[in-house]
Chain A
Amino acid sequence: MIVAIASGKGGTGKTTVAVNLALSLPGDLQLLDCDVEAPNVHLFLRAELVGSEVAGIPVPVVDVDLCNQCGECSRLCQYNAIAVLGNGVMVFPELCHGCGGCALVCPEEAITEVMRPIGEVEELQAGSVRLVQGRLNVGEALVPPLIREVRARSRDEGVVLIDAPPGTSCSMIAAVRGSDFVILVTEPTPFGLNDLALAVETVRTLGIPFGVVVNRAGSGDDRVPEYCAAEGINVLLEIPDDRRIAEAYARGLTLVDAIPDIRPFFASLAARIETMAAIGPGTRAEEGHVRVCQ
């Protein structure tokens, strides 16, 4: 069962929830850190590197002897990554999205593809938690392909947790789509509410069942709990606004290690996830069929 932990707003505590939930669930499980621009999960787990692979996107290489500068490749390319200029064809690999179109349409079969590295996928082991993380190269523009590479290493069995990037753009979608359940982490402030509403809209459009975890509960106002009640959204857990939590997090400590009274909170969340894993989370889009959502 795949559970994604996401949030409209950054800094609400996604990684905190993902890490502490992982440590509270029994047995072997996988944790995928899909926040590839800023992967932070490894900072909290004493994990050992098991393996590392360079991840990349296929980009075109043009055989100048076969190319007749017809321009079909450039006409098709939506990203201006390939252009007919002067007496030849120029490729701008950093703009290429790896769609493979140019190679398919070239009438002279002059285009082959090579891998352009965009980052790394690393596998680490921390006790019974297998961490898979993506780390985007600094200066690299394209994010979703690396997230897809991380997701591709997901196990078919057992619990898989995903730490998603913040926001609701294509990166978050790449991290969250196809999961069985989404935990949306928020904070009870106006920014938290604003971004929660956006995240809720996104997850509803994806057709995935979800629940909310309110972090720093009591620190702001009641608008978030009121919104959840009005929308019929399940609040799965409220983590108290406790300075000890902020301090433990600041030092890179997990809450379940540093603050014993926090353990029952995550244990109860873990129990809910386990129950869902056993009986199925409820209605979801079946594999191979789609509910067209507007």
Chain B
Amino acid sequence: MFVSANKSLSTTLPVTRGQAAYARVPELVVISGKGGTGKTSVVASLAVLAQNVVVADCDVDAADLHLVLEPRILETHRFVSGHEAVIRQADCEANGTCKEVCRFGAVISGEGSAPFVIDPLVCEGCGVCVELCPARAIDFPERDCGEWFVSTSRSGSMIHARLGIAAENSGKLVSIVRNEAQRAAARDGSCLILVDGPPGIGCPVIASMTGATGVLVVTEPTVSGAHDMARVLELAAHFRIPAAVCVNRWDINPEGAEQIESQARQHGAVIAGRIRYDTTVTKAQVEGRTVVELGGGAADDIRSLWAHLEGWVDG
């Protein structure tokens, strides 16, 4: 067996997961740019409205969707990614090379019998100190960065994850969740994967949307919402993925809502709907139910949104 020198053979991803890459089931990825626009609440409702859907919670850094969909976990898998440097204090000769070469400020002065200590919250796992320590006193174990789960919920199969604290947010865990969702969709014969995407525009968002059939940006009629929606629509355009926009709580600022929708159109996005401000949304969350399961104005708006999206994704 050929093994690449110095790279460990992680056993997190068993060899036969290739089926995931087969006929890809369409994926609708819901993102927001800015956090807190109501994306997860919308996804939860869409999940119960959609027939034959697999849900992928790719908002892995502080995931919330499971609080509403209440998945029953069938499989738990460790998420191992990268390495971390750990000084074997017994062998340390305190020459300080590690501190000198670390570009990330992860080596700090310790006390007593541990003159140097590597802060695991800061260590990037680049391996430079491990390589250059003259005493070869630094270990380089694989790093546990969280877990991912294959579950079932009232909307169908659900793939979700928990990214560990201070873990690297490269998007690798997001990719794992998406791939597993494709596997589940193949198994279930589902016709759509609904992805709850991460906030921001960095690597995790990129990993959640590449190859997607379409992205839905859930935004809010605020200056911040507009600013961040623009950035995320640029990202979608960069990856040539069709985009739709939905303004949540639009009636908090109707003029702002009009402006945002106009801006969205200028970016080439379609307007998929609008959701009004409704206290039922918080009430539903408190009760652990989706908005559409409770009913009301926002629920009606979400149903219209779904009707529009179904056509858009199929077409």
Q: Evaluate contact between A177 and B121: CB separation under 8 angstroms.
A: yes
Determine which of B36, B128, B163, B222 lies in contact with A12 in the assembled complex, contact meaning CB atoms within 8 Å: B36
Main secondary structure of the interface of A (DSSP, over half): loop
Q: Which residues of A contact B111 (CB under 8 A)?
A: 289
- Residue A52 at the chain B interface, CB threshold 8 Å: no
Given contacts A169-B163, A169-B168, A205-B165, is CB(A190)–CB(B103) below 8 Å? no
Smallest CB separation, A121 vs chain B (Å): 17
A104 CA to B100 CA, complexed, in Å? 12
A195 CA to B199 CA, complexed, in Å? 14
- Residue A179 at the chain B interface, CB threshold 8 Å: no
Given contacts A40-B34, A249-B222, A250-B220, is CB(A10)–CB(B199) below 8 Å? yes
Interface residue ranges of A193-230 to B (CB < 8 Å): 194-195, 198-199, 201-202, 205-206, 219-221
A75 CA to B170 CA, complexed, in Å? 21
**How would residues 11 to 43 of chain A score, 1 for a CB under 8 Å from any chain B CB and 0 otherwise?**
110010000000000000000000001101001
A38 CA to B234 CA, complexed, in Å? 13
**How would residues 236 to 257 of chain B score, 1 for a CB under 8 Å from any chain A CB and 0 otherwise?**
0010000000000100110010
Q: Evaluate contact between B109 and A250: CB separation under 8 angstroms.
A: no
Q: Evaluate contact between B64 and A191: CB separation under 8 angstroms.
A: yes
Closest to B163 in A: A169
Given contacts A38-B200, A78-B125, A289-B111, is CB(A250)–CB(B34) below 8 Å? no
A78 CA to B10 CA, complexed, in Å? 14
A85 CA to B41 CA, complexed, in Å? 48
Smallest CB separation, B239 vs chain A (Å): 8
A167 CA to B166 CA, complexed, in Å? 9
Determine which of B64, B121, B206, B223 lies in contact with A9 in the assembled complex, contact meaning CB atoms within 8 Å: B64
Determine which of A136, A167, A288 lies in contact with B62 in the assembled complex, contact meaning CB atoms within 8 Å: A167
Q: Evaluate contact between B82 and A219: CB separation under 8 angstroms.
A: no
Closest to B105 in A: A148
A10 CA to B203 CA, complexed, in Å? 17
Q: Evaluate contact between A252 and B122: CB separation under 8 angstroms.
A: no
Q: Which of A93-101, A259-267, A273-281 contacts B (4 or more CB under 8 A)?
A: A93-101
Interface residue ranges of B282-299 to A (CB < 8 Å): 282, 285-286, 288
Q: Which residues of B contact A220 (CB under 8 A)?
A: 282, 285-286
Q: Evaluate contact between B235 and A9: CB separation under 8 angstroms.
A: no
Q: Evaluate contact between A290 and B119: CB separation under 8 angstroms.
A: yes
Interface residue ranges of B10-67 to A (CB < 8 Å): 32-37, 40, 61-62, 64, 67
Q: Evaluate contact between B61 and A43: CB separation under 8 angstroms.
A: no
Determine which of B35, B103, B104 lies in contact with A10 in the assembled complex, contact meaning CB atoms within 8 Å: B35
Apart from A136-B201, A190-B64, A251-B223, 9 more pairs, CB < 8 Å? A12-B36, A38-B35, A76-B6, A78-B126, A138-B234, A138-B238, A141-B202, A142-B202, A246-B277
- Top 7 A-B pairs, shortest CB-CB distance: A11-B36, A10-B35, A99-B126, A252-B223, A37-B200, A250-B253, A167-B61
24 pairs of residues in contact across A and B, judged by CB atoms under 8 Å: A11-B34, A15-B224, A76-B128, A78-B127, A97-B126, A99-B124, A100-B101, A100-B103, A104-B101, A104-B131, A105-B131, A139-B201, A167-B169, A168-B62, A169-B169, A190-B67, A191-B285, A198-B62, A202-B166, A250-B220, A250-B221, A250-B222, A252-B224, A290-B109
